[in-house]
């Protein structure tokens, strides 16, 4: 399907006005945060610094970031327990890449719903089931970045952990614990929740979502290991960006910066934390003694790879979707699919 036909179908969505309003608001917030980020920057010095980067290390940063999608696809394949599922790990890597690209322009992870749609039209998987399994690996990612951020902070600073970081952990830690408890209660006792019995015909969607959360306990070590490897690859991206400017940031500091900044991608007000991530990285680098002006080329280079190249490549894949053998849109109800 051509991009114009896909956009035409998008216009028929009943919630299009709400989505566009939220997207516009999120971009306005992002622009304001980016203005704050750039307000103390010396643009001329930034351009001079970025013009002298080593392209070899930039290439390694790209490879480190985008190879993580192959590992994400392999992990998701292992998590899907639906009988007869025909998708390969590479198919899932392409799917994740497409809806993550949409998350870079839409707030509140709305691209995840498009990911569930892709799973429905390409692999005949229930959309609610796909959302459940997708939500599960989001929880694994969240738990991993919390663990990595805390561990690397104590390794780097010991008993001198910055107070702002400690306060953030005091909020994030309990939130993660509440999320895990609620997830466990929902999976095991969802039929006892009063609101579930009042859903009527939507109850089947809730049951299907719950099935998407199902996993084999023997897979838990594998899921934690692959999730840790994914975030090591993301940290590798930042490490290589630093090396491209002749600034040597080791593995532990790179993990600290990447995992700590990842919290901001969870904020629903901006697309993938746009603006908020840049500001937080500026503060995090300052903790490591890398201040203005050295920090700006590192942050901008990292975000070009992690965010803006994702938007560009995602748009190209949508435009030439036939070459990747993946249907990108099919706006119609299908029997047996929810």
**Domain tally, the chain:** 1
Query: What is the C-alpha separation between 285 and 287, in angstroms, rounded?
Result: 5
pLDDT at residue number 174: 87
**Is the link from the previous residue into 293 a cis peptide, with omega within 30 of 0?**
yes
Query: What is the C-alpha separation between 73 and 92, in angstroms, rounded?
Result: 5
pLDDT at residue number 331: 52
Q: With a cut of 70, say whether residue 14 has pLDDT above it.
A: no
* DSSP summary character for residue 193: S
Query: Is 149 among the domain residues?
Result: yes
Q: Which has more pLDDT, 212 or 11?
A: 212
Q: With a cut of 90, say whether residue 145 has pLDDT above it.
A: yes
| DSSP code string of 177-188 | HHHHHHHHHHHH
Prediction pTM value: 0.87
Query: Is 311 among the domain residues?
Result: no
- Summarize the confidence of residues 90-106 as an average pLDDT: 93
pLDDT at residue number 200: 64
State the sign of the Cα–Cα–Cα–Cα dihedral 237, 140, 165, 281.
Answer: positive
* DSSP summary character for residue 81: -
pLDDT digits (tens, 9 = 90+) for 146-178: 999 999 999 999 988 888 888 888 888 888 888
- Summarize the confidence of residues 273-290 as an average pLDDT: 93
Q: With a cut of 50, say whether residue 132 has pLDDT above it.
A: yes
Percent of the chain surpassing pLDDT 70: 87
Query: Is 315 among the domain residues?
Result: no
Which domain covers residue 261, as residue numbers? 51-75+127-305
Q: Which has more pLDDT, 184 or 222?
A: 222
- Summarize the confidence of residues 220-231 as an average pLDDT: 96
pLDDT at residue number 25: 85
Q: With a cut of 60, say whether residue 1 has pLDDT above it.
A: no
Query: Is 23 among the domain residues?
Result: no
Query: Is 1 among the domain residues?
Result: no
pLDDT digits (tens, 9 = 90+) for 296-319: 999 999 999 999 999 999 998 888
pLDDT digits (tens, 9 = 90+) for 22-49: 778 888 999 999 999 999 898 888 888 8
pLDDT at residue number 9: 44
Work out the mean pLDDT of the chain and round it to a whole number: 86
Long-range contacts of 40-48 (CB under 8 A, 24+ apart): 40/292, 41/292, 41/293, 41/296, 42/292, 42/293, 42/296, 45/293, 45/296, 46/293, 46/296, 46/297, 46/300
Query: Is 122 among the domain residues?
Result: no
Q: Which has more pLDDT, 190 or 147?
A: 147
pLDDT at residue number 195: 63
Query: Is 8 among the domain residues?
Result: no
Query: What is the C-alpha separation between 314 and 102, in angstroms, rounded?
Result: 8
Residue 307 is encoded by which pair of tokens?
A: 């965010």
pLDDT bin (cut points 50, 70, 90) of residue 107 is confident
Query: Is 314 among the domain residues?
Result: no
């Amino acid at each position: 399907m051509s991009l114009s036909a896909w956009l035409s179908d998008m216009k028929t969505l009943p919630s299009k006005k709400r989505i566009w309003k939220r997207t516009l608001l999120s971009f306005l917030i992002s622009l304001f945060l980016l203005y704050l980020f750039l307000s103390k920057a010396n643009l001329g010095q930034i351009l001079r610094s970025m013009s002298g980067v080593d392209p070899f290390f930039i290439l390694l940063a790209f490879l480190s970031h985008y190879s993580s999608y192959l590992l994400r696809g392999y992990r998701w394949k292992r998590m899907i327990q639906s009988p007869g599922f025909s998708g390969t790990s590479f198919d899932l890597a392409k799917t994740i890449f497409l809806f993550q690209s949409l998350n870079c322009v839409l707030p509140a992870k709305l691209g995840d719903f498009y990911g569930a749609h892709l799973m429905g039209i390409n692999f005949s998987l229930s959309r609610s089931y796909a959302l459940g399994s997708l939500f599960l690996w989001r929880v694994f990612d969240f738990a991993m970045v919390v663990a990595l951020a805390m561990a690397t902070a104590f390794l780097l600073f010991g008993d001198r952990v910055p107070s702002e970081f400690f306060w953030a952990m005091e909020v994030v830690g309990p939130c993660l614990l509440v999320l895990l408890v609620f997830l466990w209660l929902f999976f095991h006792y969802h039929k006892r929740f009063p609101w579930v019995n009042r859903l009527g015909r939507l109850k089947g969607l809730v049951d299907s979502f719950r099935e998407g959360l199902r996993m084999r306990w023997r897979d838990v070590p594998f899921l934690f290991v692959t999730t840790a490897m994914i975030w090591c690859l993301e940290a590798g991206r930042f490490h290589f960006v630093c090396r491209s400017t002749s600034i040597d940031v080791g593995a532990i500091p790179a993990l600290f910066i990447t995992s700590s900044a990842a919290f901001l991608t969870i904020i629903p007000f901006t697309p993938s934390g746009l603006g908020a991530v840049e500001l937080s990285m500026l503060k995090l680098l300052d903790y490591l003694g890398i201040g203005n002006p050295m920090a700006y080329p590192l942050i901008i280079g990292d975000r070009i790879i992690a965010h803006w190249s994702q938007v560009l490549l995602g748009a190209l894949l949508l435009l030439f979707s036939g070459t990747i053998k993946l249907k990108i849109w099919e706006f119609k109800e299908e029997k047996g699919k929810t």
